[in-house]
Amino acid sequence: MTDAAQETIYLKDYRPFAYIVDDVHLTFKLADTATRVISRISFRPNTDFPGEFFLHGQDVKLISAKIDGVAVSPNVTPDGLTCDVPDAPFVWEAEVEISPSTNTALEGLYMSGGMYCTQCEAEGFRKITFYPDRPDVMSVFTVRVEGDYPVLLSNGNPVASGEGWAEWHDPWPKPAYLFALVAGNLVAHPSSFTTMSGKDVDLNIYVRPGPDEDKCAFGMEALKRSMKWDEDVYGREYDLDIFNIVAVDDFNMGAMENKGLNIFNSSCVLASPETSTDANFERIEAIIAHEYFHNWTGNRITCRDWFQLCLKEGLTVFRDQQYTGDQGSHAVKRIEDAITLRSRQFREDGGPLAHPVRPESFIEINNFYTITVYEKGAELIGMLKRLVGDAEYYKALDLYFTRHDGDAATIEDWLQVFEDSTGRDLTQFKRWYSQAGTPHVTVTDDFKDGTYTINLKQETSPTPGQDSKQAQVIPIAVGLLSQNGDEVSPTRVLEMTEDSQSFTFEGLAAKPVPSILRDFSAPVILQREQSNTERAFLMAHDTDPFNKWDAGQTLAKNVLIQMITQDAAPDGAFLDGIAAILRDDTLDPAFRALAVSLPSEDDMAQSLHGAGTTPDPLAIHHAVEALRVAMAQHVQDILPRIQAGMTVSGPYSPDAKSAGKRSLGNTVLGLLSRLDGGAAAAKQYDEADNMTMQLAGLAALLKLGKGSAESQAFRTQWRDDRLVMDKWFGLTVSMAAPENAARTAMQLTQEPDFDMKNPNRFRAVFGALAGNSAGFHDASGASYTLLGNWLAKLDAINPQTTARMTAAFETWPRYDADRQSKMRGALETLGATAGLSRDTGEMVGRMLG
């Protein structure tokens, strides 16, 4: 299928490196196409694990090499080099040449907007120089950067600098994937932070001179809040004199936690009220926190090998979720996280790309920076915390930090800490790390003589390479309500460990209504025969905000399924429930916005498929729209009042309360526009003084098939702001009618400012196409072909982003024979591309099975 080597790496084959690295000195002489990197590295044999001296190296030209000052001639291959070395400590010196300006893969040292920057996770350092590029080789780095730029940065603390050079020293031993270098004509947005022990830390956000300088203030404050939070909640203090963040336009992912020098996709750090939405602000704050939290969970304690990725990512996502909850509403954050998990992780778990939170093999590790490793990984931490309790959780974390500081650790180490600290046996819990797939938990119940019994059955479908599954430990939080809505039994966590298990509640006067899986206490799919009346009852009365929201979602899904499969009319109980939520001013507006939002079309396809029905994306699209219109009509008399009540006056602030009001106001605007032909949306667009309101006005118009004048005005107004233009490209494709989606995306690729080398712009267009469910799955197959062809083109310049985006096709098994063959056909064509990368080759191979 592909020219690139498809060698599979296995967790079971792990072996420590045969040499220990005592220190690393690097000198960079920067030049666009011919940067010289001079390394001086002290090695000594690892007597416990003797073996070959192999250094990784890829696309680096070896100029010279010496051992202890004497020239040597290593054996260089496309992957690295081997060399005869002394059986005693020695100093390795090498000079290599690399070409940052032609590096479009954005891995290693590359150029973006005239600046030099790096991305070394997972295996990018080997594109910079020859080195044991593996996370268990940790060392102290000293770096000299030479180049004619005002700003020259690397990890750690600044040591010395002069005209055209700077030296940095990072005292904390680190693996090569945390190395970073930045050079360019940049300006700093400076500030400082005093740590809990009274140390002053210099903070900077670096951007290019110009409009970006006014978009740093929010990120800086978010950084300080994160630093304080990690001290208060986890007792973790920052450990260098300086912490730098740099914004880069061309970046494959969101951001990177390099020690003391975080590098961010500019979309994940730059913010201003005029150009960023409330959702952007929330995401930026979460990502800044996430990267900062990695300083302890990832950097001070890193991963032994890449199979352990969830050790740092699951825990760090869990920490950033806790942080976001603390900044606003835990209930709203939990609902948002559950939406993400169900729509993207359950989708991955249910398709050909399913893999365990800790995979056991891979071809290209970059393909495993997935929603499963990150978000399901975070769910596992949340379940552990729920099982052991808060106090025990923080006690275990303290032990983790003391025991493993400076280590490259494993999931076994992590679980051992919890076992030692709490005395619990986690043997069965560990299955969560090795079993892929989403458990289905089926619930039945009965009531007799004051005793209420809940019967649970768990089952996980086979996933690639795992035919049979064993029972997992599932914490199921349950509360009971009386028929009049009072809570008769407060939340209790049932610890399910068997395939089938029953739990009883004694001394009840009457049969209660159960509220099961409160707070989304486990990443499972709950299955229960339940009437729409009971769902509506829970939607109205459940005291657990997650389940109150979820009752409405389950009800909405059921109503939609009835509309799609039986041509039923929108259910009255559902419409009344929506009206009651909208009317209830005691509820948090952000919660109300979520509670009256319908499941996404892709979620509906997933649910239908799960229920044994082949989804028709166009029928789903029409049903969702019909239900929205019915909702709007049902609540039309209250919409203007609610919208007026959600007006936020005064200067824009992204705080949770104001954002929540705008969120509900804009949800209501979406409903109103179904009744007024877009009048309120056009007015909002004209009057908006911030991006949240402007974009919501435009989106509502485009959804109606209107707003072409506003869309053009928007394009003109924001022509020079690339992050806002990404929104415009994305929205244009997301809002295109199903039959026009492919054509719209294709036309946008012909715009002068469509640049496939910029991952943000490519994703804006093609991520939006894949996300426009009815448009992507248009029966003509035009979107499949278009995306497949563009991925083939992108692969030649950026394999990593290409490979990630192939996941648009992972849902092929859900659909009818015609769509299946068209989706598989697009994958086969992509797979047959000459010179296809290992990254994309692996993804296509896994999807085609």
- 86: helix, strand or coil: coil
Identify residues 797-836 at the interface with Zn ion (CB under 5 A): none
Q: In what order do the strands lie in the sheet with 500-505?
A: 500-505, 451-459, 440-448, 525-528
Answer whether 185's CB lies under 8 Å from 114's CB.
yes
Least separation in angstroms between residue 489's CB and Zn ion is: 39
Complex with Zn ion: residue 316 or 463, whichever CB lies closer: 316
Least separation in angstroms between residue 451's CB and ligand 0A1 is: 48
- The number of helices, as runs of H, and strands, as runs of E, in the chain is 29, 31
Identify residues 388-447 at the interface with Zn ion (CB under 5 A): none
Least separation in angstroms between residue 313's CB and Zn ion is: 5
Task: Say which entry of Zn ion, ligand 0A1, none residue 386 contacts (CB below 5 to 8 A, set by partner kind).
Answer: none
Task: Say which entry of ligand 0A1, Zn ion, none residue 656 contacts (CB below 5 to 8 A, set by partner kind).
Answer: none
Least separation in angstroms between residue 362's CB and ligand 0A1 is: 13
Least separation in angstroms between residue 311's CB and Zn ion is: 11
Distances (CA, A) of 143 to 63, 262, 273, 679: 19, 16, 38, 60
Residue 24 CA to its chain's centroid (Å) = 32
What are residue 471's phi and psi, to 5 degrees?
Answer: -60, 140
Answer whether 289's CB lies under 8 Å from 323's CB.
yes
What are residue 40's phi and psi, to 5 degrees?
Answer: -130, 110
Complex with ligand 0A1: residue 381 or 441, whichever CB lies closer: 381
Answer whether 173's CB lies under 8 Å from 143's CB.
no
What are residue 21's phi and psi, to 5 degrees?
Answer: -100, 120
Measured CA to CA, the distance from residue 297 to residue 526 in angstroms comes to 32
Catalytic residue, chosen from 93, 107, 146, 291, is 291
Identify residues 298-337 at the interface with Zn ion (CB under 5 A): 313, 316
Q: In what order do the strands lie in the sheet with 35-45?
A: 70-71, 61-67, 90-98, 35-45, 19-29, 139-146, 165-174, 157-162
Question: Which residues, listed in sequence order, are joined to residue 479 by a DSSP beta bridge?
Answer: 515
End-to-end alpha-carbon separation of the chain, Å?
Answer: 13
Q: Are strands 200-207 and 242-248 parallel, antiparallel or unpaired?
A: parallel
Residue 320 CA to its chain's centroid (Å) = 11
Complex with ligand 0A1: residue 172 or 537, whichever CB lies closer: 172
Complex with Zn ion: residue 313 or 710, whichever CB lies closer: 313
Least separation in angstroms between residue 312's CB and ligand 0A1 is: 8
Least separation in angstroms between residue 253's CB and ligand 0A1 is: 4
Point out which residues bind ligand 0A1 (CB under 6 A): 119, 121-122, 252-257, 290-291, 313, 366, 369, 800
Task: Say which entry of Zn ion, ligand 0A1, none residue 121 contacts (CB below 5 to 8 A, set by partner kind).
Answer: ligand 0A1
- Counting other chains too, the contacts that 678-685 makes at CB distance below 8 Å and 24 or more residues apart are 678/704, 678/706, 678/707, 680/643, 681/707, 682/707, 682/710, 685/710
Task: Say which entry of Zn ion, ligand 0A1, none residue 252 contacts (CB below 5 to 8 A, set by partner kind).
Answer: ligand 0A1
Least separation in angstroms between residue 413's CB and ligand 0A1 is: 20
- Which residues make Cβ contacts (< 8 Å) with residue 316, sequence separation at least 6? 290, 293, 294, 297, 298
Least separation in angstroms between residue 298's CB and ligand 0A1 is: 7
Complex with ligand 0A1: residue 177 or 418, whichever CB lies closer: 177
Measured CA to CA, the distance from residue 202 to residue 215 in angstroms comes to 19
User: Would you say how long the chain is, in residues?
Assistant: 849
Answer whether 742's CB lies under 8 Å from 782's CB.
yes
- Concatenating the DSSP letter of every residue in 583-618 gives H-TTS-HHHHHHHTPPPPHHHHHHHHHHTT----HH
- Annotation marks residue 291 as catalytic: yes
- CA atoms within 13 A of residue 276's CA, in its CB half-sphere: 27
Identify residues 741-760 at the interface with Zn ion (CB under 5 A): none
- Which residues make Cβ contacts (< 8 Å) with residue 838, sequence separation at least 6? 2, 4, 5, 6, 363, 364, 799
Measured CA to CA, the distance from residue 676 to residue 254 in angstroms comes to 39
Answer whether 368's CB lies under 8 Å from 309's CB.
yes
Least separation in angstroms between residue 364's CB and ligand 0A1 is: 10
Select the residue whose beta carbon is closest to ligand 0A1 and give its number.
Answer: 253
Measured CA to CA, the distance from residue 353 to residue 364 in angstroms comes to 14
Complex with ligand 0A1: residue 108 or 437, whichever CB lies closer: 108
> Each residue of 421-433: b (16+ CB within 10 Å) or e?
bbebebeebbbbb
Complex with ligand 0A1: residue 167 or 795, whichever CB lies closer: 795
Task: Say which entry of ligand 0A1, Zn ion, none residue 165 contacts (CB below 5 to 8 A, set by partner kind).
Answer: none
Binding residues vs Zn ion (CB under 5 A): 313, 316
Q: Catalytic amino acids?
A: 291
